[in-house]
Chains A and B, each alone.
Chain A
Amino acid sequence: MVVLREYLQRRVVPALVTLFVVMTLNFLLFHAMPGNPFTLLIRDPRMPPEMRAKLAHAYGLDAPLQVQFLLYFQNAFTGNLGISLVYKIPVTALVSERLINTLILVTPATILSILIGTAIGLLSGWKRGGKREVGALLFSLVAYSLPVFWLGMIFIMFFAVTMRSFPTSGILTYGLTYPNFLSYLSDLAAHLVLPTSVLTLVLLGQYALIMRSSAVDVLSQDYVLTARAKGFSESRIVRTTVLRNALLPLITLIGLNLGLIVAGAIQTETVFSYPGVGRLVYESVVTRDYPVLEGAFLAISVSVIVANLITDLLYAYFDPRVRY
């Protein structure tokens, strides 16, 4: 256990430093963007000129940048991320609600794409050279390179407009009252089918491709030959030896993706008008809503850092050669 604690220390301390650097960069980056939250607001010629100064004062944006910076850090550590300049509601509530929505969408899609992608990759790596491999490879490549926006529209046009099987957009049907939790879940699920399928399809391609090359590599290793020589059945070799070893590069990729995915589902969120965090970030950039941007990026940074931390730990679990 002592070793584990040391390992954690070695990992957690740099993670905290990273967080600090990221927060600083976030602040500087957004304040370096041309314009400020009120440029568009006061572009209406009916607004009196005094509005600019008054708004800046009300939100503390007339203070020197270093003062704003200190205040931002002080507030962030006390859990106060400020209020949105556009919506005038607390950033914490806004971002956490959107983050949960995004997780509801991204988690099943990620799990599904990992499972399906791994299976396709493993199979095509195992049965190398056959027509089946070509088919799987083609499918993975196509899925990997499909534009999300286009695929989403096709799904909406076919499944929602023509077939009327699923709703076009949103997260829940407006105005529906749910007699029980099950009916709530089924409404939520109906809204999630199309975006989750699209996200799964576009994500699984890369997992399949990585898994395939990794499996091919492992299959040519001496220890596989040894296992074969011992007379183990093909399926047992694949299940125990090949899968476990071939998974390692995939875990790295999954770890990298997990963090990015929180912010990266923005296109899916846009097509399906899904109220997620990626879309919130995009809109806040347009309106220069500094507190929301800082809050959302803090949440995203934290999830990237935590995902990396978990990856490191998992890696150690899957690969005994990695020492704590």
Chain B
Amino acid sequence: MCLLVLLAPINVQGQAFANGGTLQVGIITEPDTLNPFVTVTIQSFAVLSLVYDTLGKYDADMKVVPWLASWDISADGLTWTFHLAKNAMWSDGTPLTSADVKFTYDFAIQNKIGTAAYYVSSVESVETPDDSTVVLTRKTPLTAGFEQTLAYPAFPVIPKHVWEKLSTDQILKFENVPVVGSGPFVFNEWKRGEYLSLKANANYWKGRPHLDEVVFRIFKSFDTMLAALKTGEIDVIPTDVPALTASTLAGDPNIKVTSSPDYYTRIFTPNDNINGTGNRALLDARVRRAFQYAMDRDFLAQTIHLGLVDPAVSFIPPAYGIWYNPNVKPYPFNLTIAAQLLEQAGYTDPKNTGVRSNKEGLRLEFNYWVNNRWPEEMRAASQVQQWFSQVGIKLNVQAMDADTITAYNYPVWKYDIYFWGWRVGPDISKRLWVLTTEAVTSEWSASGWSNSTYDDLWNQQLNTLDQTKRQAIIWQMQDFIQQESPEIPFYHMKTVAAYRIDKFAGYVTMTEGVLSEVNIWSWMGLHLLTPAVVTETTIPTATSAVAAPSDNTPWIVAAVAIIVAIAALGYATVRRRKAE
């Protein structure tokens, strides 16, 4: 397996392409709901980002840039004045005005629901001097990451005339289908379990997208989805292409596989809650550091994920850009050091039982639960189990569903270690928050770890507006977490996408891949491949393509072998019959 950097084409601004085409997108997880205040799936986020407009959008560097509105910020940082696009319209024909923006903010502040509630908590008031101007006043200029609200896909501008009639209970149960939206696409049809279709918005204020239609096709099995990509029944699989299957696609000249950074880390989570009921040996940072030394993440990344993930050092993934600290000191894979650390912590095994224990009789034996949606991580777990057994730690590995794990997590903290993933989106504050004491008391922390030094650092970074200073604090937090090891990051996942290049062009690659809720540029730029498309400029982007020699030959050979065997059997039977 080798990784190549390739050049992704981005079409020149203003170049005209013919409109048309239905882009078929293959997904495994179906959107849960199109109600933006209740959803948590990224598939719903992606649909919402197309049917609704947000005030801003993310650019290729994940900076928030003007979209539905442009804005000025007062010198004290308290007053934000937005100028809305004048010809924006809801899909039912009602004009989109500043009243809708005001309603959206007031709605989120009053109801305190949805993943956006946290971001608007610093808003004091919203005024609308005229139909296209919104003046937003904040309680404090601090609270870094506020601009995230402007591009956050689950906090779009919602139509006042639809939502104002609903009570809180009704909002929580609101189906929101068909969506009255304002985005580049309008809701067309959703057949649960089969597909969700969007049509181009002919009246879109920025001009309609080139595609006529986007269909999210729901598959139940990844292998089938891959077969559909090979036959051209679908055009793109935007995320989660498993490493093994990615390698089988590399031989197809019409299919391209890319991997991009993602805000997604898979984590080995010990129970560090002092009030918890897991194995108490986990409260000792030396034991957790011994874990760090006793696992070879590079090996796991190469063997389990075929190199399509980044072995983790810091708990912050590189996708966070300047916030990611590349200088965090790694723990090399060294079983001798791991054993020494355990000796220092008082865990010995004088009778050679294979499991260390301390004077109080506390044994280093842990239940280790792995999310059963990730069969590949079960293989990783048995490898870790083997390494741990060499230093006298016993892991009892068990696959378990996420709901059950969560039920043992809160509020009882009744587990030893489990394998989990954090995927919290582009805002660094929330990812850092997951390890604070506040996250433990409000039941979001996975490990239950609580530390006042870390809490102080978290508050400091939140209230530091100077980017360089804030970066220094966040880097310090990563060093501190590495030292304490409350959670042990395994790898930072990447968005692995596979798409056909023989029908559509115009994919733009950025963080989270070629098609995602933060990437409006692909959706707007995608167009049918026509001979006119030769005049493209190419700019280099940080994309890597997977190349591997294997293809689907073994499958075909197996199929042919079976058919031949059946035919032979049938022939033999017929011959016997004649002979009788």
Contact = CB atoms under 8 A, between A and B. Distances in A.
Nearest to A57: B169
Interface stretch (B222-230, B278-286, B336-344): B222-230
Contact of A156 (B115, B119, B224): B224
Nearest to B154: A46
A241 interface: no
B24 A160 contact: no
Contact of A162 (B220, B228, B439, B556): B556
Given A47-B115, A160-B231, A130 B404 contact: no
A168 B227 CA distance: 7
B4 interface: no
Interface in A254-311: 269-275, 279-280, 286-288
A273 B218 contact: yes
B434 interface: yes
Given A39-B407, A158-B556, A161-B231, A269 B215 contact: no
Contacts of A46: 115-119, 424-425, 430
A83 interface: yes
A323 interface: no
Given A49-B442, A168-B227, A88 B555 contact: no
B231 A275 contact: no
Contacts of B117: 46-48
B322 interface: no
A247 B305 CA distance: 53
Interface string A86-109: 111100001000100000000000
Nearest to A41: B40
A34 interface: yes
Contacts of A138: 569
Contacts of B374: none
A59 B173 contact: yes
Contacts of A130: 576, 580
A131 B33 contact: no
Interface string A108-126: 0000000000000000000
Interface stretch (A5-13, A65-73, A170-178): A170-178
Contacts of B572: 131, 135
Contacts of B444: 43, 45
Contacts of A25: none
Contacts of B215: 174-175
A251 to B, nearest CB: 28
A48 B569 contact: no
Contacts of B580: 130
Contacts of A48: 112-114, 117-118
Interface string B530-571: 000000000000000000000010011011101100000100
A222 interface: no
B406 interface: yes
A135 B569 contact: yes
Contact of B404 (A34, A269, A270, A271): A34
Contacts of A45: 424, 430, 433-434, 439, 444
B103 interface: no
Which of B224, B556, B558, B562 has most chain A Cβ within 10 Å?
Answer: B224
Which of B119, B191, B193 has most chain A Cβ within 10 Å?
Answer: B193
Nearest to A98: B193
Interface in A23-37: 33-36
A193 interface: no
Given A54-B172, A130-B580, A171 B194 contact: yes
A175 B22 CA distance: 9
A98 B40 CA distance: 25
Given A41-B40, A156-B227, A167 B233 contact: yes
B402 interface: yes
A21 interface: no
B160 to A, nearest CB: 21
Given A153-B223, A161-B552, A169-B228, A51 B113 contact: yes
Which of A59, A153, A280 has most chain B Cβ within 10 Å?
Answer: A153
A99 B118 CA distance: 41
Contacts of B573: 131-132, 135
Nearest to B170: A58
Contact of B32 (A55, A86, A269): A86
Given A35-B403, A169-B224, 12 more contacts: A33-B404, A34-B407, A40-B406, A46-B118, A48-B112, A49-B443, A58-B173, A89-B192, A154-B555, A164-B231, A168-B233, A169-B225
Nearest 4 CB-CB pairs, A to B? A35-B403, A34-B407, A46-B115, A158-B559
Interface of A: 33-36, 39-41, 43-51, 54-55, 57-59, 83, 86-89, 94, 98, 130-132, 135, 138-139, 153-154, 156-158, 160-162, 164, 167-171, 174-175, 269-275, 279-280, 286-288
Interface of B: 22, 24, 32-33, 35, 38, 40, 112-119, 168-169, 172-175, 191-195, 197, 213, 215, 217-221, 223-225, 227-228, 230-231, 233, 401-404, 406-408, 410, 424-425, 430, 433-434, 439, 442-444, 552, 555-556, 558-560, 562-563, 569, 572-573, 576-577, 580
26 contacts: A34-B404, A36-B407, A39-B407, A45-B430, A45-B439, A46-B425, A47-B40, A50-B112, A58-B169, A88-B173, A89-B175, A132-B577, A135-B572, A135-B576, A153-B223, A157-B552, A157-B555, A158-B555, A158-B563, A167-B233, A168-B231, A169-B227, A175-B213, A269-B220, A273-B219, A279-B193
